[in-house]
Amino acid sequence: MKNEEETVSLIYNIKLPYLFQKKLKDGTGQEIGDIFEEALIETVGDAKDVWRVRAIVLFRNIIDILVFYRDVKGEEITLSLIKSYLDINKISCLYKVDKVPENISLKLKEYMKAIPLYNANAKKQVDVTEHYYSFIQMIIEHVLDRRFGDYLVLK
């Protein structure tokens, strides 16, 4: 029985990164977000923790905009692209572009307003903002690196 459980676990651990990679190429934001959420639960546990919920929502908001860029401009979504937009001093670039429909960009814009003292026009955020945001960013990066990093690098 234990060998069967180990085999199922191994197949699952291979399948999830493959599925994530495939969905980055042709999936919806919802599909990619669902895979990320599943990976988050597998990696760090209960997704009901307030910081983990915030990480899931932020990831979904970023992915929705990146999927729009992929579908409209043909820009490939990569792990490094996702991680580059996690930088708090760069994230506003995603929703300040005129071409992104309001229904997509508004979610991320409103999310960022909930970050203490966040200023979309600042070149550098104040320490309290960066400190607060870093918890959320760290969770997302940990899941991306731990569950998808090696696979996406090897392609």
Domain count, the chain: 1
Rounded mean pLDDT, 137-153: 80
The secondary structure element, H or E, covering residue 98 is none
Taking the C-alpha atoms of residue 56 and residue 72, their distance in angstroms, rounded to an integer, is 24
- 16 vs 114, which has greater pLDDT? 114
Q: What per-residue confidence (pLDDT) applies to 142?
A: 92
What pTM, to 2 d.p., does this model score? 0.85
Q: For residue 13, what pLDDT is reported?
A: 55
Look at residue 3 in the predicted model and tell me its pLDDT: 52
Structure tokens at 74: 């043909």
Residue range(s) defining the domain that contains residue 125: 2-154
pLDDT in tens, 26-81: 999 999 999 999 999 888 877 678 889 999 999 999 999 999 999 998 999 999 99
